[in-house]
Amino acid sequence: MVNSDMIGEVFSSIFTAAFGPTEAFAGTTAGIVAAMMNGAKRGLFSNEAGMGSAPNAAATASVTHPVRQGLIQSLGVFVDTMIVCSSTAFIVLASGLYNPSNDDSSVGATLTQDSVAASLGDWTIPVMTFLIFVFAFSSLLGNYSYAEVNLQLLTDSTLALTIFRWVVIVFAFIGGILSLQTVWDLADVAMACMALVNLVAILLLSKVAFVVLADFEKQRREGKEPVFVLDDHPELEGRVDPDVWSRAAQAKNPT
């Protein structure tokens, strides 16, 4: 059973491990820098912020103003990182099972599963196993769907699609038999590549983003329900799809 004293110990453990003088200046893992890098890597894996994957789903939303969906996506990153990930960390630390000095201790999803079982009982093990399976399976299908749609946008080749599907199957199999550390290392490299490509795209689209954000904030200050109309922004001509955001398109297909 978790009590208030244990919660205090959890917070103390987090801040001491991240900002303690030993960890910051004399630790073998570069202290604060290592903590920030590892947090960024695991956070990126969890919320996918900046990787360019979530916009594949967000782009299908039907909204009156693109900034509205952007704010929803930002809220999703906050909930995932600050609430879900923090809650998981609290569960692990409160269980007392986490021991970074013990190489034989469980890690990853197994550590979370063992921590929940230590607090609530062994009956949670099959439940957690099922939840982890559903999360992994749905993530695989979701990311595959993103990739296939993008591939079909680039080419109509049936051969390319077949090869891509086999590559996905092979990598899913390899990921299931490799060591956890190797999988994490490969995932970190892949995510870094995705983030670098996406950051270039974000930079190129920054002008559009700032114009659209200014339009949203202006309408909010005027007490209006924000509606983006491309015709009001001639500076964005050729950079925003008129088949979606022009006045004629919205009149034809009101959201």
Provide the residue ranges of all domains of the chain, joining segments of one domain with +. 4-121+178-222
Q: What is the pLDDT of residues 25-77, one digit of tens each?
A: 555 545 566 666 666 666 677 777 778 888 888 888 888 899 999 999 888 88
The whole-model pTM stands at: 0.71
Q: Residue 108 is encoded by which pair of tokens?
A: 């990853």
Q: Collapse the DSSP code of 208 into the 3-class scheme (helix H, G, I; strand E, B; otherwise coil) and give the result.
A: helix
Contacts 24+ apart (CB under 8 A), 198-205: 198/50, 198/51, 198/52, 199/50, 201/52, 202/50
Q: What is the pLDDT of residues 70-104, one digit of tens each?
A: 999 888 888 888 888 888 888 888 887 777 666 55
Q: What is the pLDDT of residues 138-193, one digit of tens each?
A: 888 988 998 999 899 899 999 999 999 999 999 889 988 888 788 888 888 888 88
